Structure 1
Amino acid sequence: MVSQHARLERATQHLDAPVAVVDLGAFDANAADLVRRAAGTPIRVASKSVRCRALLDRVLDVEGFAGVLAFTLAEALWLAEEHEDVVVGYPTAERAALRELAADPVLLERVTLMVDSVESLDLVRASVPEVEVPVRVCLDLDASLRLLDGRVHLGPRRSPVHDVADAVALARVIATDPVFTLVGVMAYEGQVAGLQDRPRGSLAARARGAAVRRLKRASVAELTERRGAVVAAVRQEAPLEFVNGGGTGSIETTVADASVTEVAAGSGLLAPALFDGYDSFTPTPAALFALAVTRRPGPGLVTVAGGGWVASGAAGPDRLPLPTYPRGLDLLGTEGAGEVQTPLRGTAADGLAVGDKVWFRHAKAGELGERVDALHLVGGADGEVVDVVATYRGEGMTFL
């Protein structure tokens, strides 16, 4: 079998770097594996992890995927031109987009806003004082694990709605306001879905993996009980259409929660470097980018043009792009990934000539689309570019 490296080299031999590719065989295999892991629970695709309409359309044609989880309201309105079920995954303060939403009954039927406080409701209401169709909203439940009476917070800092009382109080405010209709509950367990079981890096980082695994088990048990109680209580206030949870890294435990009706996932389609090291699944790298060798500073060293495509989140080595092909190259600790050039050291360096490509994987999935205008889709057993598709950036749509 031809290696992925050989296939990508063959497919892009006529292209100058930088060039970004998606291996369609890997993408489709990852989509199938997500469906297998979801075990019959529908998957709402997280658009921020894809940021390419052609790939969103491709995965939404796969049985088992249904609906989009958008990351801004402006993006949701754009996607809702073609898709009938778009949930905005975060509260919005986009007043112009809210006015656009309110003015279009079709968009009001297709788009659901996320809310987590009376303040977020007030902002929406001030922007859309009158609507023909009530604004669909989803209640965002904080899924973090809190210990020692809340003095220890483990997980993302998201919604202030944490327990049954919080959720019921907000649900009742929504139920009494004719501007809104409550249709869903979401609880994203980032401390489970977004943390590797076995992180790469230093011995200390790997040692933390044991603590992470214990944290995950404790958090899953606590959230399953609390989310179930919240959903049951909120259903007394509104006939919910959906309960969304999880992410690529927590599908198995999320769908095991009987209160959840759908799971969100997106990163697992492209399998960025941050999704290596999970115990429950092993995705196939599908999105890579190549940079050109421009220098050979000395034995065992090469320098490529560009490279500083650093992922968001807490700064650390795991946010840097990962040299992948040819195998045997590493970033230099003293320089990392540079804005205009990146030195690499390793056994593969002396086999590279000026002009050759070095392939990297981005640490996070969708953020690669913010760096390039187009993705070259590679298919076939030997590797060929079967299509070139625009990213959000390539369509002139940069939302965040």
Structure 2
Amino acid sequence: MVQWVYNFGAGAADGRAEMKNLLGGKGANLAEMASIGLPVPPGFTLTTEVCTRFYEDKCTYPTELKGQVAKALARVEERSGQKFGDATNPLLLSVRSGARASMPGMMDTVLNLGLNDWTVAALAKRSGDRRFAYDSYRRFVQMYSDVVLGIELSHFEKLLERAKQRRGVKQDHELVAEDLEKLVMDYKARVHVEIGMDFPEDPHEQLWGAVGAVFNSWMNQRAKTYRQLHDIPESWGTAVNVQAMVFGNMGSDCATGVAFTRNPSNGANDFYGEFLVNAQGEDVVAGIRTPQELTIKARKSHGSDLPSLEEVMPNIFRELCTMRQQLETHYKDMQDIEFTIQQNKLYMLQTRTGKRTAHAACRVPLASSWPGRMSTARCRYGRMQRRPMTPVRPRSSGHRASAWYARSTCFSTAGVSSR
């Protein structure tokens, strides 16, 4: 029987980094990080071959897939100590795309999947924060309605603006739990108006809707255009990564961040990155809040008054520095990482080879730090891939390129092996 689903988490994984053609770049590296003992939330990957079959068979799945997904989901439940759809201790999921070549922002993601009118109450009780629970629910309904149900985001943005007007506030985070609970009801009413059906409450229906939406996004127009610009074959397909949610927006002891293990602009051996306290990644893309620096050195260099991660969460910062070294040693190259902190516990969500400027590519000391890689001298004359990157919105307040922006737009030279 063909294996369509690969598990990862709790220090073990079915896949490895070299399986990116099958698991996609994200899935392969999640498996690799789990296998070397990094704290990766448990999950599973639906392979790129599922995507290929999905399109070959007129948007239907292989017959064995649902059974394999059910077994993989049970393993995530076991590893997380939570149960999908349970009204007392619910497991919530993220569903993300993951092609073998990086395609930032081109395909779809759904977060907080599994929330409904019953599980949201359990999340509120577990977190001790009713506002957080309903904010997560509000985000989920909006994201799912856009990605899966095909409803224009503008409908939800208008309802959000009205909620802020009623409360007399300007920022989303100023809304209280009662506002957000009513907003969820308003969102669902809008869904019924737009599609003539109720928003799905069954978590399993939600899951398969999200999986289908990610596979469908492989053929959306922006993904097609990106593939044409970057010579990515349509036949490659995308994997889908289903993973237990960890929350960077559960309180002041939570955060989300991105980092390069070295400075991608000049190649210096500096930990370069940013984070936001009490936030999810989408808050950064929205440009509503200014990210904070990882290190004291970077904060002082950029004249920021906001405290660094090194200052506000020193133990987490030290742990992250250890993982930085572990990843560079293991992959023998500069890495671009994503992480989330939930209630003072660090989780790794992604690693990949970090893009860098040509200047940085020549300066990064490959030969001395990572045996078997190209030397600095050879790099000056070696092959370097230069390709245009699709820009994303920079931080709203910055005069410099932030780490969030740099990951997708500023740096176009990938690491080069000696092969």
Report the TM-score range of the alignment, normalised by the length of the smaller protein: under 0.3
Higher helix share: 2
| Higher RCO (CA < 8 A, seq sep 6+) | 1
Q: TM-score, normalised by structure 2?
A: 0.27
Q: TM-score, normalised by structure 1?
A: 0.28
